[in-house]
Amino acid sequence: MRRRRIAAGVVAAGLAVAGLWHLGGGAWIYAKAALAQVLLEGSWERTQRGEDKVRPWPWADTWPVARLRVPRLDVSVIVLEGASGRTLAFGPGHHQGTPLPGRPGNSLISAHRDTHFRFLKDLEPGDEIRIEGAAGTARRYRVTGAAIVDRRQARLAGGGDRPRLTLVTCYPFDAVVPGGPLRYLVFAEAAERI
């Protein structure tokens, strides 16, 4: 009887530890996403004052390149350079090799569907997106449409003369398991300068 009690206790404790570990791990992902944005404010301000490649913390391999605002949804996020998994944990990532947001051509920005780009599902054609660039420049974009594509069969084209944005996140928004092939894309085109 004693043995059984110990066994049950060990099983329960083990499960509890594993449960807390994973709960914590999940929560940490959200906390990191939110916290990083707060920490980024400082380096973004320095970037706007004209400093180049301000690393938010000494070991960072990325830096802020723009702030993305959606007035209607009260969204404001700082966009980082590069779209590696590590960068996307902290904020939306601008794909190196595509033009910087605000410049002519198609700028590609990706973020996680369950953190920074959760709001993409609420964007509607005609919505305004504001991009504040590095040296205090700003540009307004209008959402022109959205699409759901299979990443195995879709590629995004760069090029073009007008500044354009393509915001990318995973689809469906409420899937629990990450890693699916579908992507939700929102397209926006530059309106006149503010």
Partner 1 sequence: MTRLPTDNHLPPMAPRTVLRLGIGLIVGALVAVFLLLWTAVEAGVPLPGKNAVTPAKMQRGGLLFRTDEPGAFLPAPDLATEARIRINGMVARVQVVQHFLNPHDEWQEGVYVFPLPDDAAVDHVRLLVGGRVIVGEIRERQEAKRTYEKAREAGQRAALVEQERPNMFTASVANIGPGERITVEIRYHQTLRYDDGAFRLRFPLVVGPRYIPGTEPEIGLVNAVIVTAPPRVPDAERITPPIRHPSRGMANPVHMRIELNPGFEVAEITSPTHAIKTTGSAEEGFTITLDGDAVPADRDFELVWKPRPGETPVAAVFTEEEGDGTYLLMMVTPPETEGAPRDQALPREVIFIIDTSGSMAGTSMKQAKLALGMAIKRLSPRDRFNIIQFNSVTSSLFAAPKAADPSTVRRALAYTAHLRADGGTEMLPALGKALDGKKDAGRIRQVIFITDGGVGNEAELFRVVTDKLGDSRLFTIGIGSAPNGYFMREAANLGRGTFTYIGSIDEVQEKMEALFAKLERSALTDLRLTLPHGMTAEVFPQPLPDLYYGEPLVIAALVDRLEGEVVIEGRMGRTPWRTAVPLTSPRPAPGIAKVWARRKIQALSDAVHYGADRQAVRDAVTRVALTHHLISRYTSLVAVDVTPVRPENVPIAKRDVPLNLPRGWVYGTVAGEQPTGAPQPARFQTGLLRNAAYALPQTATPAQLKMLLGALALVLSGLTLWLYRRRA
16 contributes a contact to partner 1 by CB under 8 A:
yes
Q: Is 32 exposed, middle or buried (0-12, 13-18, 19+ CB in 10 A)?
A: middle
Q: Which is nearer to partner 1, 174 or 194 (CB)?
A: 174
Q: Which is nearer to partner 1, 69 or 112 (CB)?
A: 112
Binding mask 67-106 for partner 1 (x = CB under 8 A): ----------------xxxx-xx---x-xxxx-------x
Do residues 141 and 131 touch, judged by C-beta distance below 8 A?
yes
125 contributes a contact to partner 1 by CB under 8 A:
no
Q: What's the 3-state SS for 59-87?
A: CCCCCEEEEEEEHHHCEEEEEEECCCHHH
Touching partner 1, residues 173-192 (CB under 8 A): 175-180, 183, 185, 187
Largest CA distance in the chain: 78
Q: Which is nearer to partner 1, 136 or 172 (CB)?
A: 172
Select the span of 68-76, 123-131, 134-142, 148-156 touching partner 1 (CB under 8 A): 148-156
Q: Which is nearer to partner 1, 179 or 194 (CB)?
A: 179
Using CA atoms, how far apart are residues 124 and 144, in angstroms rounded to an integer?
8
Using CA atoms, how far apart are residues 54 and 29, in angstroms rounded to an integer?
23
